[in-house]
Structure 1
């Protein structure tokens, strides 16, 4: 794992979870020696720090069957040039960076290295993530399945076309932020209704958590769950009418389109 930030840390936690078995140790790279020491504490991880070892990334990928590239999008090409000669001839490289295409990565790597893209989200930290996974022309069923199993340790995995990855990023990759924004605004609205900070936070947070768990456990369509709460001519119906009058469908379409547009800008190097 080259670059173990927030998302890489979630994946690493999934790989180290009870019941998950992998072959050999996990090698990771971080920027600081302190982070490397924390990752290596458990004994099943070999950690390298780039601030003290200029060869850290190259050392980490040697012998690895799967390499997860977890660096920022603008760093991807430089890191690929750095590690290209140290990758195994049949390695599978998986990038979790937005806006960097499989073709642009493959052209920097030796022939035989398979490149895939994955778009996980932050609920992976608690094993409830969802990851979009796309393979290029060189990715066969075996490589796709191996990487699918890796990301399945932290949640659900959807295998999609690469031209859907930007939309995956807009819906689920950024989706937690939309829900957190909703919770933030509900908390603020509760404060304006006279609740203190603790009360407002409890009301908003527990409502979101409880509703999400009800959605998960019930297996019902969210529209049906909404109808279950919305009595005809009742208070919920009146509030939802206000929200719908504000143009929620168009607002969501515009927000997701803006997200996708930014991914496309990144692909063009903007």
Structure 2
């Protein structure tokens, strides 16, 4: 794993869970020695810093069957080019970067190396992530299946065509930020109703957690769960009506469209 930022770190956390059965240690590179030092003494991870060792990335991928590129999007192609001749024949290179096509990565790698794009999200930290994966032109079904199994260690996986991977990023990759913003705004509104900060946080956080768990355990459609709370001509009906007047559907369409446009801009840069 080259780079362990937000997404890479989430994947690594999930992979290090004791119940996950993979070949260890996981070879990791970070930019700084301070970041690499966090893994000192770990039996399941070997870490090196690229600031201190220019050959760290190449050494990390030597002999690896699967390589995860967790660096920033603008570094993906350069990093792939850097490790190209150190990759084992038949290796699978997985990019978790938004806006970088498999074709751009394939162009700098040798024949026989497969490329797969993945779009995980940060709940992978606790094994509750969802990851969209898309095969490049060089990846066969068996290689895609291996990548699927990798990301199933940190949550659920959806296989999509590459033209949908930016949309996966908009819905689930960025989705936790949208959920957290919703929670922030509910807490702020509760405080404006006169609750102190601690009480507002408790009311909102437990309401959101309980609602999500109710949806998970019952398996019911969220629209039905909403109707179950909404008595005709009752208080919930009034507040839901106000929210619906805010055109949430249109707002989400615009938000997702802006997210996808940014991915496309990154791809073209």
Same fold (TM over 0.5): yes
Give the superposition deviation at 1:63: 0.6
The equivalent of 2:206 in structure 1 is 206
Give 1:44 shift: 1.8
Question: Which has the larger displacement, 208-217 or 158-167?
Answer: 208-217
**Distance in 2 between residues matched to 1:96 and 1:235, nearest whole Å:** 44
Residue matched to 2:46: 46
Q: Give a deviation string over 1:191-239, Cα, whole Å, max 9, x none.
A: 1000001011111111111111111111110001100111110000000
Match for residue 74 of structure 1? 74
CA apart distance, 1:34: 2.5
Task: Write the distance in 1 (CA, Å) between the matches of 2:109 and 2:87.
Answer: 9
Separation in structure 1 between the aligned mates of residue 237 and residue 243 of structure 2, nearest angstrom: 10
- More deviation, 204-213/67-76: 204-213
TM superposition shift of 1:147? 0.7
Shift of 1:37: 2.4
| Worse-superposed segment, 256-265 or 27-36 | 27-36
Name the counterpart of 2:102.
102
Q: How far off its partner does 1:140 sit?
A: 1.2
Deviation at 1:19, TM superposition (A): 2.2
The answer (yes or no) to whether the contact 2:85–2:110 under 8 Å persists in 1 is: yes
Q: Counterpart in 1 of 2:113?
A: 113
- Is 1:146 the counterpart of 2:158? The answer is no
Match of 1:123 in 2: 123
1:3-42 mapped onto 2 (5 Å cutoff): 3-42=3-42
CA drift at 1:137: 2.0
C-alpha separation in 2, matches of 1:172 and 1:118: 12
Indicate if the aligned counterparts of 2:103 and 2:137 stay in contact, CA closer than 8 A: no
Q: Deviations over 1:8-34 (max 9, x none)?
A: 122112222122221242100011222
DSSP-derived class of the 1:98 partner: coil
CA deviation vs aligned residue, 1:81-139 (integer Å, no higher than 9, x gap): 11111111211000000000000110010011000000000111111000000001221
Equivalenced residue count is 269
Tell me the secondary structure at the aligned position of residue 116 of structure 2: strand
What 5-or-longer segments of structure 2 have no aligned partner? none
Query: Is 1:171 aligned to 2:208, yes or no?
Result: no
Does residue 221 (structure 1) correspond to residue 221 (structure 2)? The answer is: yes
Q: 2:41 and 2:140 mapped to 1: Cα distance?
A: 36
| CA-to-aligned-CA distance 1:52-77 (integer Å, 9 cap, x gap) | 11111111111100000001101111
The residue number in structure 1 matching 2:233 is 233
TM score, norm. by length of structure 1: 0.97
Q: CA RMSD in A?
A: 1.0
Unaligned runs of 5+ in 1: none
Distance 2:32 2:106 in 1: 29
> How many angstroms apart in 1 are the aligned matches of 2:100 and 2:20?
30
Q: CA deviation at 1:41?
A: 2.5
Which secondary structure does the structure 2 equivalent of 1:39 belong to? coil
The equivalent residue for 2:135 is 135
Deviates more, 1:82-91 or 1:97-106: 82-91
- Give the secondary structure class of the aligned counterpart of 2:38: helix
Deviates more, 1:140-149 or 1:99-108: 140-149
Residues 110 and 43 of structure 1: CA distance in aligned 2, closer, same or farther (over 3 Å): same
